Structure 1
């Protein structure tokens, strides 16, 4: 993400516990990781 600096990322199925059911823990982990990357690039 640091290298290409995308406007957004598609993680729809990447944060699912099962098809069609989002996993709150996966969403939170993704959010935290994105914040770390965002802070590191500033």
Structure 2
């Protein structure tokens, strides 16, 4: 985990929250899109 943070230059806590929050939202939206496409 530390190596990932160093690689992306996430030194501060807010950077980490923004970074992981962004990817969490993106993956959730992607999942919803896939579900809708599958159902319809």
Q: Please give the TM-score of this superposition, normalised by the length of structure 1.
A: 0.50
Ranges of 4+ aligned residues in structure 1 off by more than 4 Å: none
The alpha carbon displacement at 1:13 in A equals: 3.9
Give the Å deviation of 1:14: 3.4
CA 1:41/1:13 → structure 2, altered by over 3 Å: closer, same or farther? closer
Q: What TM-score do you get using the length of structure 2 for normalisation?
A: 0.52
Higher relative contact order (CA 8 A, sep 6+): 1
Structure 1: runs of 5+ lacking an equivalent: 1-9, 16-21
Over aligned residue pairs, what C-alpha RMSD do you find?
1.7
Q: Residue 9 of structure 2 aligns with which residue?
A: 14
Greater strand proportion? 1
Q: Which residue of 2 aligns with 1:29?
A: 18
